[in-house]
């Protein structure tokens, strides 16, 4: 089951993960059909298995074993005779090779990440070619030799590399190469559908055309093709998108340029359909016309999904000198999501966008370069996979999409250390040639400016060319800009204050200063920042302008005034970003009062400061009055105050308190009242006081499936990270094994279809969106940062974010629960229809979080396996569902979703788990400190993701007037109190009870 994970530092796996692990831990002979379905639901999302046929994947579920290894464990050594094949489910492992028999001489040649597979030497009993050591705590799927050989023989796992000589086995998979002469059936059919509909609706578009006294038979014009396509479907949003869609047909030879050019252009150029290449091509029949009309929307949807990749390839095939600014921006956006480039600066990525070359190879087994050759290029895998082969050792590892290779030979100016062989057909690469690679490295170093104090770097800037503003004569001028890369916290603040523009032409905020204000909590908390800000505010002319002998009195006054104004503006921005969070920090409130007093005193001497004073007074008044007057809320177990029937949710703050039941082994409970941000140690103390217990107690998160997670004493705000039906138990250590779930944790035994089916789908979607918007609006931007870097490091709760993420899981499980509790087949079909309609309405309301949750609920194995139910679903709804699944497609880092959301205007409720994933990806791929300096490039990248949330909320949610005027208290109440089963095993059992496995 796909689920949004809230931050948790518990010692065991979340319930949705542990369920499939329990199944894999059983002996193969003891695994039931339900076990296999649970394992299958997990493995379907693993990269190593995404190309496997479902029946083959089921066999793997029957014979695979689960392995969990700590960091530093040697899985096997070079020279050992292998006994198992492995796939990496989480974590990473180093591949070490030694030229001698001494393992201490081994060097790491690459790292295997999630989705990679290794150990194929067991097919012919050859010794292991390398030593494999876990780089971090890792989860693996293991298949023993006998079962692996059995799978290989009937037929085998695709892409397993070995041959009779022990080198590489390659597979000719039926995937067309780019610009291939033999189009795939799908694209050939797409071309026929478009041509037939064009002949039906606009026959004048395909005709003989004359240009420069030459006649071109049965052609279309590029601009007319783009115009026509945009008129046919709402899924075609722009001319650039339409160009990409036609490029798909051009690449596969279904559409051809009359002069055989390889790029489709939105110009007065002539193109001809493949069917029109023959003289006197027969016209389509009435039946063919009708079929094409019916297939048109599905065809356009297909082309819209694969068009962006074709458009990207088209741009990358251009010579670097021919790429326009829009091309470079499209390439740069693609580079942002490539794993191998995550640690590079923005400047380097933009430089790469100008020099990257697209390279593709059609056949598996092609040698890209050989061991010992001179290194001439660095490669990044855009699509496909390659084997790394070393003489005498064979295949030592496999690299996949997003991995890179070949850089070491360029950096060290050394021969290639291994051969690279294509593992599958139709592989695409991005290539950087040596000359460009070295130039970029030289330029980066040459354009790096280092500011030192006491022989230590305190600020590192990167100089780059930026297109400047237009001069008074209208000519474009070039300017250099300096981008902050790293620095000490104090020097970063000083630099941003110096660079702040105060003239009227530059009223917009400096993005880097915004990033500093948003991210400073990571490297300089408010308790340290406030004194530094106070020190930056000049109290006299001498402190602002120490060289009293230089400059006129007016210059000194102007300098002092500007410094003061800069600090005031920064403090106003800082207070705006923090919002109500400042009220929870006594030191910050005290700083605001002291700062206001200093500015007020200055306005008597410098009247021009008065224009900023009213806003500062409002901020100080709001924070000081609210901090003294506003009482903290007391929340019930479900994080509401019990009186919210007709009220909007309000953000939950650190000092709000919660009434919470903590259970004992015998299912009795005690109710405690503690702050929501209380630590586990404080919770245990409150429980011990209530129970009058002197024993050392453990606090345990017990899931409905019976999994126990012992919480660590320093964990905070554990209430919001429980599973939907999870409960907190307190017990002595010797009673831990006797804990059992409460009966109420099982969830409902009957569905709510009787009342739910009477509700309008649009009403349900509307009230869901209203509630989701309330939850989303309560999330403070800093909660995303605390979640990413670990809230225990900040001693701050992320309750509002946790609840919003939990809502995603709740809706997903609600869909599965309702379907699995519906015994009547016809009712289940109606349920699926209703969920598809609700998802469609949520998409209209730009509630993408719930849209994804509903769609993922329907794709859960417990629902997707109900073949009898899906067979009876009308084809119209099946098409909708396929469209939804395509939007959820995780390939190319969720490219389909990102393209869709980029076109939406706020307000938008985004797919929050993906934003969390993006921030985690950036955090884990980049160090927070580099050479004891704050890595500000990392701060900038994480801030850009947080700003997506800011943009999504930049406009207020304006309800659908037709819906807002209706009063649906029963619908409102229903969507806010969903009852679910959160045990995947129980859901799978219910599913098998509805439709037993067919023999």
Angle between helices 526-536 and 553-578 (to 10 degrees): 160
pLDDT band of 862, cuts 50, 70, 90: very high
Which pLDDT value is given to residue 879?
87
C-alpha 398, offset from chain centre? 24
Q: Cite the DSSP H helix spans in 279-345.
A: 286-317, 325-335
Residue 625 has pLDDT above 70, yes or no: yes
The mean per-residue pLDDT over the stretch 35-60 comes to 74
The mean per-residue pLDDT over the stretch 553-574 comes to 87
Higher model confidence: residue 128 or residue 170?
A: 128
pLDDT above 70 coverage of the chain, percent: 87
The mean per-residue pLDDT over the stretch 131-145 comes to 89
pLDDT band of 503, cuts 50, 70, 90: low
Higher model confidence: residue 629 or residue 920?
A: 920
Residue 943's H or E segment, with its range, is helix 936-952
* 907 cis-preceded (ω within 30 degrees of 0): yes
Round the average pLDDT of the chain to a whole number and report it: 84
Strands 727-732 and 657-663: parallel
Which pLDDT value is given to residue 99?
67
pLDDT band of 36, cuts 50, 70, 90: confident
Higher model confidence: residue 42 or residue 497?
A: 497
pLDDT band of 155, cuts 50, 70, 90: very low
pLDDT band of 305, cuts 50, 70, 90: confident
Strands 727-732 and 697-702: antiparallel
The mean per-residue pLDDT over the stretch 703-726 comes to 91
The mean per-residue pLDDT over the stretch 246-268 comes to 90
Higher model confidence: residue 167 or residue 497?
A: 497
Residue 738's H or E segment, with its range, is none
Residue 180 has pLDDT above 60, yes or no: no
Which pLDDT value is given to residue 669?
94
Which pLDDT value is given to residue 965?
65
The mean per-residue pLDDT over the stretch 906-932 comes to 92
Give the residues across from 674 on adjacent strands: 658
CA–CA gap between residue 747 and residue 428 (Å, rounded): 48
Q: List Cα–Cα distances, 779 to 6, 589, 786, 908, 953, in angstroms.
A: 13, 22, 12, 14, 11
Q: Per the structure block, which two tokens stand in for 47?
A: 């990269």
Highest average pLDDT, of 397-411, 666-680, 805-819, 965-979, comes from 805-819
Instruction: Tell me 73's DSSP state.
Output: -
What is the side-by-side strand order in the sheet with 207-211?
207-211, 214-221, 270-273, 255-257
pLDDT band of 472, cuts 50, 70, 90: very low
pLDDT band of 533, cuts 50, 70, 90: very high
Is 103 exposed, middle or buried, given 0-12, 13-18 or 19+ CB atoms closer than 10 A?
middle
Residue 655 has pLDDT above 90, yes or no: no
The mean per-residue pLDDT over the stretch 162-174 comes to 30
Higher model confidence: residue 318 or residue 787?
A: 787
Nearest CA to 387 out of 353, 421, 435, 428 is that of 421
Which pLDDT value is given to residue 464?
74
pLDDT band of 54, cuts 50, 70, 90: low
Which pLDDT value is given to residue 67?
87
CB 496 within 8 A of CB 513: yes
* 47 cis-preceded (ω within 30 degrees of 0): no
- Which of 10-14, 208-212, 577-581 shows the lowest mean pLDDT across its residues? 10-14
Nearest CA to 121 out of 166, 151, 91 is that of 166
CA–CA gap between residue 979 and residue 739 (Å, rounded): 24
Name the 3-class secondary structure at 210. Answer: strand
pLDDT band of 643, cuts 50, 70, 90: very low
**To 5 degrees, how large is the angle CA 564–CA 569–CA 573?**
150
- Which of 263-277, 355-369, 469-483, 872-886 shows the lowest mean pLDDT across its residues? 469-483
Angle between helices 848-859 and 761-778 (to 10 degrees): 120
Residue 169 has pLDDT above 50, yes or no: no
Q: Name the one residue in this structure whose structure tokens are 């997990």.
A: 42
CB 556 within 8 A of CB 541: yes
- The 10s digit of each residue's pLDDT in 84-125 is 888 888 888 888 887 665 666 677 777 888 878 888 778 777
The mean per-residue pLDDT over the stretch 735-751 comes to 94
CB 82 within 8 A of CB 128: yes
CA–CA gap between residue 485 and residue 933 (Å, rounded): 9
Strands 456-470 and 476-487: antiparallel
CB 188 within 8 A of CB 97: no
Name the 3-class secondary structure at 868. Answer: helix
Nearest CA to 952 out of 920, 923, 917, 914 is that of 914
Q: List Cα–Cα distances, 846 to 32, 438, 760, in angstroms.
A: 41, 46, 19
Which pLDDT value is given to residue 527?
93
Higher model confidence: residue 910 or residue 898?
A: 910
Residue 998 has pLDDT above 80, yes or no: no
Q: Per the structure block, which two tokens stand in for 763?
A: 């009403």
Highest average pLDDT, of 581-585, 715-719, 990-994, comes from 990-994
Q: Per the structure block, which two tokens stand in for 923?
A: 């955090």
Which pLDDT value is given to residue 306?
85
The mean per-residue pLDDT over the stretch 248-277 comes to 90
Q: Cite the DSSP H helix spans in 549-609.
A: 553-578, 586-605
Largest CA distance in the chain: 101
Q: Per the structure block, which two tokens stand in for 631?
A: 């009482």
**To 5 degrees, how large is the angle CA 24–CA 29–CA 33?**
65
Burial 602-633 (b: 16+ CB within 10 A, else e): beeeeeebeebeeebeebbebbbeebeeeeeb
Which pLDDT value is given to residue 429?
93
The Cβ-side half-sphere exposure at 525, using a 13 Å CA radius, reads: 10
Residue 708 has pLDDT above 70, yes or no: yes
């Amino acid at each position: 089951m796909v689920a949004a994970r809230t931050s948790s530092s518990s010692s065991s796996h979340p319930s949705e993960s542990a369920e499939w692990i329990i199944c894999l831990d059983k002996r193969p002979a003891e695994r039931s059909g339900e076990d296999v379905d649970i394992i299958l639901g997990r493995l379907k999302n693993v990269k190593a298995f995404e190309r496997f046929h479902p029946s083959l994947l089921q066999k793997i579920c029957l014979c695979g074993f689960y392995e969990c290894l700590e960091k530093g464990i040697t899985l096997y050594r070079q020279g050992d005779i292998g006994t198992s094949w492995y796939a990496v489910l989480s974590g990473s492992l180093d591949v070490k090779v030694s030229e001698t028999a001494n393992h201490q001489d081994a060097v790491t040649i690459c790292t295997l990440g999630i989705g990679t597979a290794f150990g194929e030497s067991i097919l012919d009993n050859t010794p292991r070619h390398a030593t494999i050591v876990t780089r971090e705590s890792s989860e693996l799927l293991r298949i023993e030799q006998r079962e692996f050989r059995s799978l290989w023989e009937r037929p085998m796992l695709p892409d397993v590399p070995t041959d009779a000589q022990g080198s590489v086995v390659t597979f000719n998979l039926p995937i067309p190469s780019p610009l291939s002469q033999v189009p795939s059936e799908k694209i050939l059919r797409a071309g026929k559908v478009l041509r037939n509909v064009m002949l039906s609706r606009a026959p004048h578009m395909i005709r003989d055309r004359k240009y420069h006294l030459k006649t071109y038979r049965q052609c279309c014009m590029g601009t007319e093709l783009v115009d026509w396509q945009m008129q046919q479907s709402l899924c075609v949003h722009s001319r650039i998108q339409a160009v990409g869609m036609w490029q798909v047909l051009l690449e596969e030879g279904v559409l051809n340029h009359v002069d055989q050019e390889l790029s489709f252009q939105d110009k007065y150029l002539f193109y001809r359909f493949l069917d029109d290449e023959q003289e006197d091509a027969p016209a389509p029949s009435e039946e063919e016309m009708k079929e094409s009309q019916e297939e048109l929307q599905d065809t356009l949807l297909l082309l819209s999904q694969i068009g962006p990749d074709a458009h990207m390839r088209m741009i990358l095939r251009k010579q670097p000198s021919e790429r326009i600014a829009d091309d470079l921006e499209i390439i740069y956006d693609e580079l942002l999501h490539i794993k191998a480039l995550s640690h590079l600066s923005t400047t380097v990525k933009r430089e790469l966008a100008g020099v990257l070359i697209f390279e593709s190879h059609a056949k598996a087994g092609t040698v890209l370069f050989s061991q010992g050759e001179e290194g001439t290029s660095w490669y990044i895998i855009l699509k496909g996979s390659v084997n790394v082969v070393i003489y005498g050792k064979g295949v030592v590892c496999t690299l996949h999409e997003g991995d890179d290779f070949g850089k070491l030979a360029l950096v060290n100016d050394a021969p290639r250390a291994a051969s690279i062989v294509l593992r599958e057909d139709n592989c695409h690469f991005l290539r950087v040639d040596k000359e460009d690679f070295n130039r970029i490295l030289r330029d980066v170093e040459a354009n790096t400016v280092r500011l030192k104090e006491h022989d230590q770097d305190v600020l590192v800037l990167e100089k780059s060319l930026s297109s400047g503003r237009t001069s008074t004569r209208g000519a474009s001028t070039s300017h250099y800009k300096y981008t902050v890369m790293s620095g000490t916290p104090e020097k970063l603040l000083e630099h941003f204050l110096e660079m702040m523009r105060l003239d009227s032409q530059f009223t917009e905020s400096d993005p880097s200063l915004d990033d500093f204000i948003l991210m400073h909590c990571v490297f300089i908390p408010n308790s340290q920042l406030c004194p530094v800000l106070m020190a930056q505010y000049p109290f006299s002319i001498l402190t602002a302008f120490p060289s009293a002998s230089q400059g006129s009195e007016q210059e000194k006054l102007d300098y002092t005034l500007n410094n003061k104004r800069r600090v005031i503006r920064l403090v106003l921005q800082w207070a705006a970003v923090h919002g109500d969070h400042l009220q929870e920090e006594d030191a910050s409130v005290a700083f605001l009062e002291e700062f206001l007093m200093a500015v007020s005193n200055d306005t008597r001497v410098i009247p021009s400061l008065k224009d900023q004073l009213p806003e500062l007074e409002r901020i100080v008044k709001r924070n000081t009055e609210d901090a003294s007057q506003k009482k903290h809320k007391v929340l019930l177990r479900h994080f509401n105050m019990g009186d919210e029937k007709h009220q909007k949710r309000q953000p939950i703050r650190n000092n709000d308190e919660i009434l919470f039941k903590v259970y004992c082994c015998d299912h009795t409970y005690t109710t405690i009242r503690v702050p929501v941000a209380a630590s586990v140690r404080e919770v245990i103390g409150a429980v011990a006081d209530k129970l009058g217990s002197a024993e050392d107690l453990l606090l345990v998160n017990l899931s409905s499936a019976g999994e126990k997670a012992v919480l660590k004493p320093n964990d905070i705000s554990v209430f919001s990270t429980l599973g939907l039906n999870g409960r907190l138990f307190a017990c002595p250590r010797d009673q831990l094994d006797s804990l059992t779930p409460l009966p109420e944790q099982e969830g409902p035994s009957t569905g709510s279809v009787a009342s739910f089916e009477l509700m309008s789908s649009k009403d349900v979607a509307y009230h869901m969106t209203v509630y989701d918007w309330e939850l989303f609006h309560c999330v403070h931007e800093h909660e995303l940062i605390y979640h990413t870097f670990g809230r225990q490091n900040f001693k701050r709760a992320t309750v509002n974010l946790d609840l919003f993420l939990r809502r995603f899981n709740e809706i997903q499980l609600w869909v599965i629960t309702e379907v699995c509790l519906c015994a009547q087949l016809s009712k289940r079909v109606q349920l699926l229809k209703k969920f598809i309609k609700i998802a469609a309405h949520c998409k209209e309301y730009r509630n993408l979080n719930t849209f994804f949750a509903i769609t993922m609920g329907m794709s859960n194995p417990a629902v997707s396996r109900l073949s009898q139910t899906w067979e009876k679903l009308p084809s119209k709804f099946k098409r909708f569902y396929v469209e939804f699944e395509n939007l959820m497609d995780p390939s190319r880092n969720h490219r389909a979703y990102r393209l869709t959301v980029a076109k939406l205007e706020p307000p938008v409720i985004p797919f929050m788990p993906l934003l969390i994933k993006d921030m985690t990806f950036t955090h884990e791929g980049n160090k927070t400190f580099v050479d004891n300096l704050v890595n500000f490039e990392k701060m900038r990248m994480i801030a850009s993701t947080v700003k997506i949330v800011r943009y999504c909320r930049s406009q207020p949610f304006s309800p659908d007037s037709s819906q807002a005027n209706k009063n649906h208290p029963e619908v409102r109440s229903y969507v806010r109190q969903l009852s679910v089963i959160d045990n995947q095993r129980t859901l799978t059992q219910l599913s098998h009870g509805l439709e037993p496995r067919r023999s």
